[in-house]
Amino acid sequence: MAATPQKLGLWTSTSLVVGNMIGAGVFLMPAALASYGSISLLGWLFSAFGAFLLAKVFTNLSKLLPSTTGGPYAYTHHSLGNFAGFLVAWGYYIAVACASASIAISFVSALSTFFPVLAQDRVIAILTALCAIWFLVWINTRGVTSSGKVQLITTILKLLPLLLVAIGGLFFIRIENFHPFNSTGTSTFAAITASASFTFYAFVGIECATIPAGSVANPQKTIPRATMLGLLITTLVYILGSVSIMGIIPSKQLQHSVTPYADAAVIMWGPHVRYWVSGGVAIAAFGALNGWTLIQGQVPYAIATDKLFPAMFARKNKKGVPYAGIIVSSIMVSVFISMNYTKGLVEQFKFLLLLSLLSVLVPYLFSATAYIITRVEKVSLQSGGWISAILLFVLAFSYSLWAIAGTGKEAVYLGFLLLMAGIPFYVLIIYRNKQQ
């Protein structure tokens, strides 16, 4: 008789949210924002507010539909039907695979500080990335708690260098480094909008605690707490880190830094700490890759159980893990990584990443819609709280729409094509279901 699979608790669920949001990219964020000026700190606040709205949508949905595995897909499918649910799952699944490839590459790049050969030999770099991917596939197929333990450990380890710079840097700030306030040459509102659109991508992953809901202990309480706690931790790390680094490194110098956290740490504690920060980048990438690997099994499992994906994705191993989605997605990630390290296909890889942007944001738009529909279905109109519920829907929907528009015309166009490419697959699945 198979043992009952263990489930994720509050801290492992929180680490899934934090770990998936804080990837290797956050270590470059202050340098990317330096061109906006210190006004970008207001952009962080604006994007954090948008993330809070979406987090509130997901926490409310997790209470209305507890133990519903699949997150944005499951909520959309429940409220808007098969077709909308399929489009969300299709785009999200491919987007996560593309993002995982870039995370794996960031992991190898960080390791090159310790092993320079990784920056010089493409074959060794590819093999290292593939070893990381398939090692995490093995970890994740051993059970959700094994993945959760790795996620918790790597999240703690990645937060340490970030917090050391973010909090320690407050004592090294020089006020003059925050000038100019707005270096974009545009209005204050335009600069805040531009920087907020950019920083919002750092909050992608806020929904992750809802996706493996069936594997979470007491999901009606754990998921809302993990989502809001994860958002709070992440927001503090992002904002304090940006304030410290912008205050330590002059703007013109910061714009050209490829290792802003390491550069700030060197100013604070000397050149030897550069390796500690590079280690933090590697751990951040490894942890994020682990978290997204778990998600790659849960999303196709949810849609397959609704008979909108091939039945193989609904199968579980003895540990209760839907392994097919993890394996298929990891094959896709492996191919994308090989493409990135092939000179002639680098632009094609960038194209794939561009395709993924809209596919991550569209589920947020659908989830906001699913929230108000589900509330009408589950909660009596005579009960209180409807004004706040409608206000949350309007604000979250509007913010998601604004974020989609902020990706630019090319991303919207290509993302639309990606979603439409799934329609023939959907038609084939529906036809086969009717034949059975």
pLDDT of 27-64, one tens digit each? 777 887 888 888 888 989 989 999 999 999 999 999 99
Q: How far is CA 129 from the centre of its chain?
A: 19
Long-range contacts of 65-69 (CB under 8 A, 24+ apart): 65/374, 66/213, 66/219, 66/220, 66/223, 67/213, 67/214, 67/219, 67/220, 68/213, 68/214, 69/211, 69/212, 69/213, 69/214, 69/215, 69/298, 69/301, 69/302, 69/305
Domains, the chain, in order of start with CATH, read 10-435 (1.20.1740.10)
Burial class (CB in 10 A: 0-12, 13-18, 19+), 280: buried
| pLDDT single digits (tens) 156-165 | 888 888 888 8
Percent of the chain with pLDDT over 70: 93
Cβ atoms within 10 Å of 312's Cβ, excluding its own: 14
Coil vs helix vs strand at 373: helix
Our measurement of the distance from residue 16's CA atom to the centroid of its chain's CA atoms, rounded to an integer in Å, reads 10
Cβ atoms 307, 433 nearer than 8 A: yes
Between 219-248 and 144-168, two packed helices, what is the crossing angle to 10 degrees? 30
**Is residue 212 within a helix (H) or strand (E), and if so which, with residue range?**
none
Examine the pLDDT at 346 and tell me if it is beyond 50.
no
Higher pLDDT, 85 or 95: 85
Q: How far apart are CA 233 and CA 230, in angstroms?
A: 5
Query: Picking from 118-132, 227-241, 334-348, which range would have the lowest pLDDT averaged per residue?
Result: 334-348
| Residue pointed to by tokens 């093999």 | 127
- Rounded-to-integer distance, Cα 403 and Cα 102, Å: 21
Residues 141, 319 contacting (CB under 8 angstroms): yes
| Token pair 């333990």 in the structure block, residue | 149
pTM above 0.95, yes or no: no
Q: What amino acid is encoded at 124 in this protein?
A: I
Indicate if the pLDDT at residue 434 is higher than 50: yes
